[in-house]
């Protein structure tokens, strides 16, 4: 399992895309982000939002 905790916020767009391409083939990758747009679209899978203690599937 690979966990990336808000790592994309610290990277420029080129590095975000490159990191996403590297981890996308992984079977268990958990990504957190404060800003949804920080997560490259190459990372597909189930997405959830958390707001006011409520978790919703997107």
What pLDDT does residue 51 have? 94
Query: pTM to 2 decimals?
Result: 0.83
Torsion sign across C-alpha atoms 54, 56, 18, 22: positive
User: What is the chain's percent helix, strand, coil content, to nearest 5?
Assistant: 30, 30, 40
Q: pLDDT (tens digit, 9 = 90+) per residue, 1-37?
A: 999 999 999 999 999 999 999 999 999 999 999 999 9
Q: Are 23 and 50 in contact (CB under 8 A)?
A: no
Q: What is the pLDDT of residue 1?
A: 95
Would you say how long the chain is, in residues? 58
């Amino acid at each position: 399992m690979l966990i990336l905790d808000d790592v994309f916020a610290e990277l420029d767009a080129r590095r975000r895309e490159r990191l996403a391409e590297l981890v996308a083939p992984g079977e268990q990758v958990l990504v957190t982000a404060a800003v949804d747009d920080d997560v490259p679209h190459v990372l597909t899978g189930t997405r959830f939002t958390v707001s006011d203690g409520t978790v919703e599937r997107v």
